Amino acid sequence: MKKAISLMLAAMLLPLMTGCTARADQRTGEAEGYGGVIRVSVRMNGDDITEVEVLEHSETPGVGTRAIEALPAAIVEADSIEVDNVSGATVTSNAIKQAVSQAMGMAGVIQQVIPMDGMNATEASPVTALQGVGMASTGRVGPGKDADGNQVYSFNVVFAAASFEEDGTIRSIQVDQLEVVTPNLGGGSAFSGFPGSVAEEESFLQEVAAWQTKGAMGEKYRLASGTWREQMDEYQRLMKGKTVEEVLAWAGERNNAAVQSGEAAATARPEVSTSATMSLQSEYGDILLAIERAWDDAQRRQGPAKVDTNTVTDAVQGEDSMS
């Protein structure tokens, strides 16, 4: 009799135990994001995704973290990783999807939206970044006059090299600037003009070879709140995660606020923690135009300029460590 009761209890408990096992099916996966490894926990009930939680990440606050906050719930609601990426956080979005795919047993899936219909990983397109280089030059009557009252003339050439997501979001950027002045300024990268005789050729070549960008000058080129390089680095950090259009809009709002407050645009302080006081668009140098042209260049060569995400991510992380 006891044996019969035990068998009956076992038969009754078996479905309940099976249900508990299905509900407790929790797995983990990880993938390389923008700032490092993203590790996720995925809870399954049979084939259904019931919970996705990001356990570990090093993504940029306010940029990659937007995907961290939004994507897990979207995947659960869709019961699939075939959901839209968060705009401006493509790398993070794709990393979350890859980590979820790994947790679900889809090993080897690359960072891309993979339909849950068994698509082979090799059929998916790689996540790409666009590379562009831009230049902008401006002439200037100045800075000032020399001790004898003679006018000083100069020109500035800005160079911008950047990596963009397909929507124009800046993933990494480097800006530098060359300022060349007439020799009566008494310093800087001077240019006396093209040689009029063979005897002047050597001095011409030496003069041009001595030119340095503002970034390369380091401590020799200081503005109100630090060196030019330090201030440009602050702007570069500020621009990462924004689209080119957002950077232009932000700069326009900043300059409008400066004009309304009576503050010169060249010394207006932007929001957040940047200490930059340089002008982004003036006779001192058109940094914004150089960035626009870098984005234009990236779009022009969109096909052959595409590169693998992992390569770009490594490059971005290396740059951050040097800034």
Per-residue model confidence as pLDDT tens digits over 191-245? 999 998 888 899 999 999 999 999 998 888 888 778 899 999 989 998 998 999 9
Q: Do 83 and 219 share a domain, yes or no?
A: no
- Given 100, 123, 146, the domain boundary residue is 123
- Given 89, 123, 157, the domain boundary residue is 123
Q: Which of 25-29, 99-103, 156-160, 259-263 reaches the highest mean pLDDT? A: 156-160
Q: How many CB atoms lie within 10 A of CB 145?
A: 12
H/E stretch holding 100: helix 90-103
Residues of the chain with pLDDT > 90: what percent?
A: 33
Nearest by Cα to 34 from 52, 61, 73: 61
Q: Do the Cβ atoms of 320 and 193 come closer than 8 Å?
A: no
Q: Do 168 and 225 share a domain, yes or no?
A: yes
Domain containing 64 equals 24-123
Q: How many CB atoms lie within 10 A of CB 83?
A: 19
> The whole model's pTM is what?
0.54
pLDDT band at 101 (very low <50, low <70, confident <90, very high): confident
Give residue-wise pLDDT tens across range 35-71: 889 999 999 888 889 999 999 998 888 788 889 999 9
Q: Do 209 and 299 share a domain, yes or no?
A: yes
Nearest by Cα to 40 from 82, 71, 78: 71
Q: Do 281 and 169 share a domain, yes or no?
A: yes
Averaged pLDDT, 257-284:
56
Q: Classify residue 171 by burial, with Cβ atoms within 10 Å: 0-12, 13-18, 19+.
A: buried
Does residue 8 lie within any of the structural domains? Answer: no
d(CA 137, CA 313) in angstroms, rounded, equals: 31
Q: Give the per-residue pLDDT at 273.
A: 38
- Given 123, 138, 161, the domain boundary residue is 123
pLDDT band at 156 (very low <50, low <70, confident <90, very high): very high
Q: Do 116 and 161 share a domain, yes or no?
A: no
Answer whether residue 173 shows pLDDT above 50: yes
Q: How many CB atoms lie within 10 A of CB 77?
A: 10
Does residue 156 lie within any of the structural domains? Answer: yes
When divided into structural domains, the chain yields a total of 2
Does residue 17 lie within any of the structural domains? Answer: no
Q: Do 106 and 201 share a domain, yes or no?
A: no
Q: Do 188 and 254 share a domain, yes or no?
A: yes
Q: Do 101 and 140 share a domain, yes or no?
A: no
